[in-house]
A and B are shown apart, each in its own frame.
Chain A
Amino acid sequence: NAGVTQTPKFRILKIGQSMTLQCTQDMNHNYMYWYRQDPGMGLKLIYYSVGAGITDKGEVPNGYNVSRSTTEDFPLRLELAAPSQTSVYFCASSIQITPLHFGNGTRLTVT
């Protein structure tokens, strides 16, 4: 039972580069989320999706894009990486109002 799988686990980017953080879940959850966690701060919601083809902005969406072409996958795209995007990124999924299931995170450093 894989749950929520994120790849890669670690990545170092140079300023201005782009990358996609992958997230897939095998629980047939309709809701999926991307959060970032900065040291000493609570998790902040970047984007979320309530089903395939539907996405919406969270609290801190600037500099990111998402797509949801299937129920299972919810990739997060970073365009023109900036040092402020250095963080740990978590993907999560749920059925509405039930507990969230989190992946193990991607640690991203932008230098």
Chain B
Amino acid sequence: KQEVTQIPAALSVPEGENLVLNCSFTDSAIYNLQWFRQDPGKGLTSLLLIQSSQREQTSGRLNASLDKSSGRSTLYIAASQPGDSATYLCAVRQDFGNEKLTFGTGTRLTIIP
């Protein structure tokens, strides 16, 4: 059974710093991995999706990497801003056609002005 872990559960960093969020999964035979952002009282917003054949995806100040063999993904945020404060979740899809995503419990990020 796939398990997805995100450590730490909470992280506070000063504005302007670069930071890395971690996501680990136990079964490396995944189809793709998604990173989401969740603001308080809101739904999830998809940030980046990495297919199993890809090593990384970039969008603006965000860069997500995937190392299937080690069961890890990282989300790198450059030059953090207070508006980046949110909970970040990762989720893996096991197979093409398997509609179940396995979610991590998230990392709550606070950027200190």
- Tell whether, in the assembled complex, residue B44 and residue A102 are in contact, meaning their CB atoms are under 8 Å apart: yes
Cα A50 to Cα B96 in complex, Å, equals: 13
B-side contacts of A33, CB under 8 Å: 99
- Interface of B, secondary structure class, is strand
Interface range, A side: 20 to 34
B102 contacts the other chain (Cβ, under 8 Å)?
yes
- Counting residue pairs across A and B whose Cβ atoms lie within 8 Å, the total is 55
| Candidates B34, B91, B99, B100; contact of A31 at CB < 8 Å | B99
By beta carbon, the residue of chain A nearest B100 is A45
- Tell whether, in the assembled complex, residue B104 and residue A42 are in contact, meaning their CB atoms are under 8 Å apart: yes
B28 contacts the other chain (Cβ, under 8 Å)?
no
A-side contacts of B106, CB under 8 Å: 42
A103 contacts the other chain (Cβ, under 8 Å)?
yes
- Tell whether, in the assembled complex, residue B99 and residue A50 are in contact, meaning their CB atoms are under 8 Å apart: yes
B-side contacts of A44, CB under 8 Å: 103
* Stretch of A11-19, A64-72, A79-87, A93-101 with 4 or more beta carbons under 8 angstroms from chain B: A93-101
Q: Which residues of A contact B (CB under 8 A)?
A: 4, 31, 33, 40-45, 48, 50, 56, 58-59, 90, 92, 97-105
